[in-house]
Amino acid sequence: MHKFKQRVHFGADVSFGPGAQVLNEEGIGAVAVATVVAKEYGVGFMHKTILTLSSVVVPIVSVTTGLGIGGVKLYDFPVGRIKIIGAEANLALSVASGKQADFTDATPQGSLGLGSVIITNPAAFSTDATDDDIAAGVAYDMASYADSSVLLAANSGDVNFASPLDLVLNASVAAADIDNDVTTEMLASGLVVVHWVNLTAGT
């Protein structure tokens, strides 16, 4: 079956055919780092944002003998009251050779999640709800400084957020797996998918 494209009144390219999606450039957000590429789908106020991450740097800081924690903002949602319908991710985590000396062994473990604020509490991942209020945190387990498939929770449930809203990738590293008082980083690659709606009138 052939696919056809047509420019429609809301400024999107529509592809008709099996499995077709509607590209939407109206009322979208913006990526926050150069190593993230966004593809936007939807109609009007309904959105599906697919982010492709390519070796995104996730800064990690360990405080004394506690966890290593850190995060990176991936995406700025537009102004308005944003309702997150669901979010999921399939990511690969790794530690570059120049940063491996900051870890105690080649098998770091910890947690990864999608939140609205960069993690700051070293007590434990998810101590603050904003660590993973967009997609719930899950455990990762590296071998040779890499975990090739970290699957984040498929749906956080319907959650409303007041503007401004950021999409943040947060991470922790177990205290036993990272040196004390170091500033280091991990790399994240893969896909993040977020379904969302802007509830603000006029959007």
Q: State yes or no: pLDDT of 157 exceeds 90.
A: no
**Residue 74 belongs to some domain of the structure:** yes
**Phi and psi angles of residue 102, each rounded to the nearest 5 degrees, phi first:** -80, -10
pLDDT for res 94: 98
Confidence category of residue 158, pLDDT binned at 50, 70, 90:
low
Confidence category of residue 16, pLDDT binned at 50, 70, 90:
very low
Contacts of 192 (CB under 8 A, 6+ apart): 50, 51, 53, 74, 87, 88, 89, 91, 114, 152, 167, 169
In the block, tokens 């105690």 appear at 104
> What digits encode the pLDDT tens for the residues 83-100?
999 999 999 999 999 999
d(CA 161, CA 192): 19
pLDDT for res 47: 94
**Residue 142 belongs to some domain of the structure:** yes
Confidence category of residue 24, pLDDT binned at 50, 70, 90:
confident
**Residue 121 belongs to some domain of the structure:** yes
**Residue 23 belongs to some domain of the structure:** yes
**pTM higher than the cut 0.85:** yes
The H-assigned helical ranges of 32-116 are: none
Comparing 179 with 63, which gets the higher pLDDT?
179
Q: Which residues is 188 bridged to in the sheet? A: 56, 93
Confidence category of residue 45, pLDDT binned at 50, 70, 90:
confident
The mean pLDDT value for 136-149 works out to 96
**Residue 203 belongs to some domain of the structure:** no
pLDDT for res 196: 93
Confidence category of residue 78, pLDDT binned at 50, 70, 90:
very high
pLDDT for res 2: 41
Q: Identify whether the C-beta of residue 135 lies closer than 8 Å to the C-beta of residue 196.
A: no
d(CA 147, CA 192): 16
**Residue 132 belongs to some domain of the structure:** yes
Number of independent structural domains in the chain: 1
Domain extent, residue 143, equals: 4-198
